[in-house]
Each structure stands twice: as structure tokens, then as C-alpha cells.
């Protein structure tokens, strides 16, 4: 599976400009199987008051992603955008498959209280694993990465790859690099991390960095060999060896 990360730093509140950038980068990565965008790419992270930038049910983004996915016959994991639904505001990821169909949606579960996300967003309540081209793909957003029990639940649902759009400060780069490796190793999955601030990466189930970006706008591409994951599991099946009998 050929995966591309469309890494770019959105202009805060400049929705039209950010949509144009996303459109251009998706077109540049059109020969991939999956394209991943960063967190809150349409608005930047994050303009206030957020309700002024929230899309009603995410309709504009859904239409944009589905049209682009169909046009280029590519799966798009659409980072995340600010969505108003049922009187609440969510940080939501939409997924469009290569047929131009909406395949999944996921709301950020763990809200970053340090940035007061919990004051403006509502937390998601459901895990999302979607099948793209026969591959089970899990979804998480930025801060979710810090919660191993959450990522483990995604792995237990059969995810082979976890896609994580983010707006992670490079001031906390080292812990993030450790966390992506740890989540990959302990769950024996690929981790694809798209960061608006740069240093996006793809990590294999051994915890090895397959590719890593710089800090500016970039298309980062990697070929993921799922047979390599099968080899890791056949040598040491961590999930099968879990002992849940202890208190």
C-alpha cells in the first residue's frame, strides 16, 4: 500500500486558502493508495471562537474529500476539521474511499486540556476502524496517541495501520517520537502520523521509522508492506500472549 502524508501548516482562520492548499497537495499525491491530511487543516489549530468556523455536519469537507477521492481514485483520510453537530462542536476526521463514498467518521476522543480543547470541543465516544482496499485502518487524532489503552482497543478491532492526523508542537517532539514507536511496537501495527508542524513519519511494527518529513510543506510517501507485519506477528504474537488473569 502506497501512503502519502500531505503535510502543511494551515493559515489560522484562512479557510479558503487552506482548502486551496489541500486541493493542490491531494492532486500532487494522487498516485498514492491513501492520502492523509493533518489535524484541523481547514482552519489551523485552532481559531476562536470555534463555533464561527464550524461546518454544519462537516458538509463542505465531506463533499470536498469525496469529490477529490473519486476524481483521482484515491482513498483520503481527511485529517480533521471543526464540525457542529447536534448543538455540539467536534474535532472530526472524515474518510473518503476511492469511489468517492464517505467511508467513516471519527471524533477526537481525548481532548487536550492544556490547550483548553475540553472547553470548546465535545469528546468522541466511538472507536473507528475502516477497511480501505481490503486493509483495516484505525483512526486517532493527535493527543489520542498518548493513551495506550485507546490505541490497544483499535488494534484489538483488527487495525493493521493506524492513521493519526495531528497538530503536535515540535516543543514536544521527543516524547511524540517515542510514543509513535511505542504504539507501533506494542500493538504490532504501522503508525502513520501527519503533523501540521512538521516531522511527520511512518513507523513500522518493529518501531523503525520508514520515512520522516522535514518541517515545511511536503508530500511524504512510503510503501507499506503488510507482509512485514505478518512476519513480525508470526515471530512473536504479543496480542495472543497477553495474560488478562491478573488483578
pTM of the model: 0.97
Cell, residue 245: 488473569
pLDDT at residue 118 in the model:
97
The answer to whether 88 and 120 have CB atoms below 8 angstroms apart is no
3-state helix/strand/coil string of 18-29: HHHHHHHHHHHC
pLDDT at residue 174 in the model:
98
Q: List residues with catalytic annotation.
A: 39, 108, 142
pLDDT at residue 164 in the model:
99
In sequence order, the 6+-apart residues with CB closer than 8 A to the CB of 87 are none
pLDDT at residue 48 in the model:
96
The helix (run of H) or strand (run of E) holding residue 171 is: none
3-state helix/strand/coil string of 48-89: CCHHHCCEECCHHHHHHHHHHHHHHCCEEECCCEEEEECCEE
pLDDT at residue 169 in the model:
97
**Maximum pairwise Cα distance, the chain:** 54
Residue-range domains of the chain with CATH: 2-235 (3.60.110.10)
**For the CA atoms of 238, 243, 246, 247, what is the dihedral angle to 10 degrees?**
60
pLDDT at residue 56 in the model:
98
- For the chain (247 residues), the mean pLDDT of every run of 10, in chain order, is 98 98 98 98 97 98 98 98 98 98 98 97 98 98 98 98 98 98 98 98 98 98 96 96 91
Amino acid at each position: 500500500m502506497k501512503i502519502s502524508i500531505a503535510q502543511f501548516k494551515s493559515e489560522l482562520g484562512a479557510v479558503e486558502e487552506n482548502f486551496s492548499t489541500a486541493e493542490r497537495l491531494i492532486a500532487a499525491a494522487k498516485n498514492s493508495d491513501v492520502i492523509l491530511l493533518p489535524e484541523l487543516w481547514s482552519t489551523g489549530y485552532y481559531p476562536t471562537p470555534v463555533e464561527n468556523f464550524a461546518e454544519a455536519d462537516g458538509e463542505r469537507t465531506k463533499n470536498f474529500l469525496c469529490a477529490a477521492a473519486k476524481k483521482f481514485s484515491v482513498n483520503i483520510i481527511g485529517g480533521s476539521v471543526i464540525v457542529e453537530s447536534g448543538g455540539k462542536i467536534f474535532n472530526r476526521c472524515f474518510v473518503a474511499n476511492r469511489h468517492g463514498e464517505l467511508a467513516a467518521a471519527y471524533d477526537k476522543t481525548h481532548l487536550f486540556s492544556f490547550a483548553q480543547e475540553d472547553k470548546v470541543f465535545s469528546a468522541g465516544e466511538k472507536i473507528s476502524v475502516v477497511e480501505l482496499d481490503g486493509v483495516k485502518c484505525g483512526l486517532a487524532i493527535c493527543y489520542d496517541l498518548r493513551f495506550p489503552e485507546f490505541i490497544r482497543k483499535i488494534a484489538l478491532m483488527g487495525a493493521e495501520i493506524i492513521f493519526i492526523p495531528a497538530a503536535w508542537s515540535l516543543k514536544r517532539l521527543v516524547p511524540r517520537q517515542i510514543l509513535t514507536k511505542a504504539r507501533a511496537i506494542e500493538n504490532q501495527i504501522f503508525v502513520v502520523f501527519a503533523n501540521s508542524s512538521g516531522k511527520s513519519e511512518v513507523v513500522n511494527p518493529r518501531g523503525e521509522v520508514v520515512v520522516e518529513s522535514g518541517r515545511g510543506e511536503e508530500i511524504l510517501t512510503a510503501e507499506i508492506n503488510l507482509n512485514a507485519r505478518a512476519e513480525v506477528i508470526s515471530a512473536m504474537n504479543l496480542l495472543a500472549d497477553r495474560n488478562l488473569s491478573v488483578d
